[in-house]
Structure formats: C-alpha cells, structure tokens
C-alpha cells in the first residue's frame, strides 16, 4: 500500500467513526432543535438537521435536488482525493494527513445524506444571540484537513523555490 494511503485511510476512518458515533449520540439524547448549554452564553450542544452544506448553504426546504447534488459532490470529492493521494500532492505526510481528514469528513456527511437526506449538526458556538452556524465532527475534519493541505502546498512551494 502506498505510504500516503497508510496515513490517509486510518485518519479518514477515525473521522468517519467519530462523526457517526457523535451524531448517533446526539440523535438519541437531544430532541430536534433542542439545545443543552455547556458554557452558558457561548457553547451549546444542539440537534439541527441541515439540508444544505457548510454554513447553511442551500439549507432550504422545497429545493428537492440539493440532496442529490451534495451526494454527487461528495462522491466527486472522494474521487479527487483518491486521485490526489496517488499524485505528488499526496506524497507528503502533511498532504496525506489533510486529504485523509477531508475524506473522512466528506464520507461522514455523505453517509447522512444517503441515509436520511439530512446532515446532523450539533456544535453551536455563540455569543449571546449571535450564533456561528452549527457544525459537526465531519465539518471539523474537512476544515482541519483543508488547513493542512494549505500548509503542505505552502511548504512544497517553498522547497521548489529553494531548488530553483
């Protein structure tokens, strides 16, 4: 197995498992639209069902097509990630780690969309009435993975410049 896959696949599996486990716990213990304050005025556990994507993008009832659009987009993203893991981008540990985190997040939200058509979000950070959009472990994997990919590309660019 390629070294990049030995790094990326366990990370993807860990993000997927943690994401699905936390979502199941939320669904079993918190009613829809219910909030449990953990840090009053700043952080709640919630149970939000999201038809859309990050930050509520396309989170509207009646569109109907967004479920299939996001399933297709997730499958395409997974395909691109596997392609990148076999390319130069996936050769660095940092790049492979970033791709693994993004893959795990994409798969976590894909499982929700295939199973129910909705993504479960449950982490709600806010300051009094101003709320950051609720998110989940899959979203954290995607966000952290993208940051690692940016760092990897930046490092690769610096190495190329030193060689020139």
Could you tell me the residue ranges of all domains in the chain? 3-163
Instruction: Identify the DSSP state of 2.
Output: -
For the chain, the 3-state helix, strand and coil shares in percent, each to the nearest 5, are: 65, 15, 20
pLDDT attached to residue 98: 96
pLDDT attached to residue 129: 84
Q: Are 60 and 49 in contact (CB under 8 A)?
A: no
Name which of 3, 141, 121 is nearest 51 in CA terms.
Answer: 121
pLDDT attached to residue 57: 61
pLDDT attached to residue 91: 73
For residue range 24-48, list pLDDT tens digits in order.
999 999 999 999 999 999 999 999 9
For residue range 78-90, list pLDDT tens digits in order.
999 999 998 865 6
Q: Tokens standing for 91?
A: 């050769």
For residue range 47-69, list pLDDT tens digits in order.
999 877 665 565 656 666 788 88
pLDDT attached to residue 113: 93
Instruction: Identify the DSSP state of 42.
Output: T
139 as an active site residue: the answer is yes
Band of the pLDDT at 3, cuts 50, 70, 90? confident
pTM of the model: 0.88
Name which of 147, 126, 123, 125 is nearest 136 in CA terms.
Answer: 123
Catalytic residue of the set 121, 124, 128, 164: 121
Residue 134 predicted with pLDDT over 60: yes
Name which of 148, 157, 128 is nearest 4 in CA terms.
Answer: 148
pLDDT attached to residue 155: 77
């Amino acid at each position: 197995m390629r070294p990049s896959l030995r790094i990326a696949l366990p990370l993807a599996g860990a993000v997927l498992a943690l994401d699905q486990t936390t979502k199941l716990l939320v669904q079993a213990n918190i009613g829809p639209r219910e909030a449990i304050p953990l840090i009053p005025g700043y952080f709640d556990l919630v149970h939000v069902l999201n038809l859309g994507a990050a930050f509520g993008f396309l989170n509207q009832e009646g569109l109907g097509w967004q479920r299939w659009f996001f399933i297709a987009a997730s499958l395409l993203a997974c395909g691109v990630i596997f392609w990148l893991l076999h390319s130069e981008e996936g050769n660095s540990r940092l790049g492979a780690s970033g791709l693994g985190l993004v893959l795990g997040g994409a798969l976590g939200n894909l499982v929700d969309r295939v199973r129910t058509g909705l993504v479960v979000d449950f982490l709600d950070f806010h300051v009094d009435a101003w709320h950051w959009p609720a998110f989940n472990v899959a979203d954290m994997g995607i966000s952290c993975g993208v940051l690692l990919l940016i760092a990897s590309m930046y490092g690769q660019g610096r190495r190329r410049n030193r060689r020139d």
